A and B are shown apart, each in its own frame.
Chain A
Amino acid sequence: MLFFSVALAVARRQVYRVFTKLSFFLPSLFPVLFFLAFAGGLTRVGEVPGFDFPAGYEAFQFVWVLLQAVTFGGAFTGFAIAGDFESGFARRLLLAAHRREGIILGYILASLVRVTFTGLLVAVSAYLVGMQVLGGGVDLFGLVGLALLLNFSATLFATGIALRLRTQQASPLIQTPLFLMLFLAPVFVPMPLLEGWIEAVAAVNPLTFLLEAGRSLIIGEPAGVWFAYGVGAALALVLLGWALTGLRRAERSGS
């Protein structure tokens, strides 16, 4: 099998599973829930002295929820890979595919389809609750680009772990670092309003740069966007190596 045909076959199977199995599909609704809970219930947080975000609290939360959705889209792909190893499917796949890197690309493509769907769900929910978008088309394109870059990185991270451990018990190892990265960022208030330990952690968290750039794009005042893209690209590059070396390990293990 050639590289792209392997990728497409894996992607098609994975997308089919996501949209036909309830247990795969339901987690896609999580980000919508987060958005409704945070943007719906916490709007008054936008009135805290020093909170200055012209598009309102819904738009402020939308960017975080979007990044959360794409990150967890990557994590769920990792769970699926681990599940495929447990069921024996991945072993047969490794035997059948000549260009095994195509397997990773397949899972990445499936993850992209999944997060596109989830992202649209979140966007529709945001529209329904009256979110304001002050940025133009180019700004929104930039925001979507950041989200896709993050999904790419998160999928590679989860893939690397799943290929190394090849068991669903790896789920906490996939989920926990991503969860920490997401929540140890300026989730509820802007960076200048954070205090104490979380401010120090958020200042060095790579997600903070993507989040702040995304928020600047949604209000049409881009700031730190190229730097955020640089951080995202660096993450993706490092994690590509992580996923590929994970694939080599899986090949060597023969399982």
Chain B
Amino acid sequence: MSRAVLLQVLYLSRRSVLRALRQPATVGPALVFPLLLLAVYASGLGPASGLEGFPGDSYLDFIFAFPLVQGAVFAAISAGTDLARDIESGFLSRLSLTPMRPVALLAGLLAGVVALGLFQGVFFLAVGLLAGVEVQAGLLGLPLLVLFTVLVGLGFGGIGAILALRTGSGEAVQGSFPLIFVSLFLSSLLFPRNLIENDWFRAVATVNPVSYMVEGIRSLIITGWDLQALALGFGATGLLVAAGLFGAAASLKTRMARS
């Protein structure tokens, strides 16, 4: 990457991060809602940890993957909405008249997602540890948990960017939120796959890559160093990141040609 492109990426990353920080209505829910739901699920579903075959003995430990993944999705949706706003306001069209490289725009936008994901990961982890989450992987597992959060955010950020670039509408990106939520809930996010009774749900959860991302994160908390779960988790997350980035780059190319 040339120095000029790097500079462009830096400028746009700074813009992206500052824009996120200047919108407490965006950052606030991305931090508060996942924690609120964590508290509700941990209390409401606590008795489920007594079921035979339940991994670990604490539902709080089990569900701790939830805020990490959901927070990343929140960040990704807001990044997609921001990009759509740039399209709606004509910023992208004006940018296309400058020597700015399209890749810099995408990298800048995703840098904002990564920054927010990093902050979320550290924040959720700190709150979780204070609330009594025990990470079996020990101290070395903590940065890995944050890395998972950042990568999941980057992957969903790419999806958010695809939606924004394809539709050019913030409303459409927001409207797609339920569809992304479907992928979270139809997984082993709330309950272990071995205890899911409905065949159709277990089948959907088994083919849903989100299950493997969640189980990778969860393995660090409940089991320790489970290499198979980690490989599957990083594999699924890597695929999401690759699909998100390639899709976003292709959509950006089409959009810039139209602008």
Contact = CB atoms under 8 A, between A and B. Distances in A.
B47 A193 contact: yes
Given A22-B172, A33-B182, A36-B186, A41 B43 contact: no
Interface string A24-53: 001101100110111011111101111100
A6 interface: no
Interface string B182-193: 100110001100
Nearest to B191: A41
B45 A33 contact: no
Interface in A194-249: 194-198
A87 interface: no
A140 interface: no
A192 to B, nearest CB: 11
Interface string B10-31: 0000000000000001001100
Interface residues of B, number: 39
B240 to A, nearest CB: 20
B178 A196 contact: no
Contact of A41 (B41, B176, B190): B190
A196 B190 contact: no
A1 interface: no
Nearest to A196: B43
Nearest to A184: B40
Chain B interface secondary structure, helix, strand, loop or mixed? helix
Contacts of A29: 178
B123 interface: no
A137 interface: no
A3 interface: no
B181 interface: yes
A185 to B, nearest CB: 9
A230 B118 CA distance: 48
B242 interface: no
A48 B51 contact: yes
Contact of A183 (B36, B48, B50): B36
B40 A198 contact: yes
A42 B51 contact: no
Interface of B: 25, 28-29, 33, 36-37, 39-41, 43-48, 50-51, 169, 171-172, 174-179, 181-182, 185-186, 190-191, 195-198, 200-201, 205
Leading 4 A-B pairs by shortest Cβ distance:
A37-B185, A198-B43, A23-B171, A23-B175
Given A26-B178, A41-B205, 7 more contacts: A22-B172, A33-B182, A40-B201, A42-B190, A186-B44, A194-B43, A197-B43
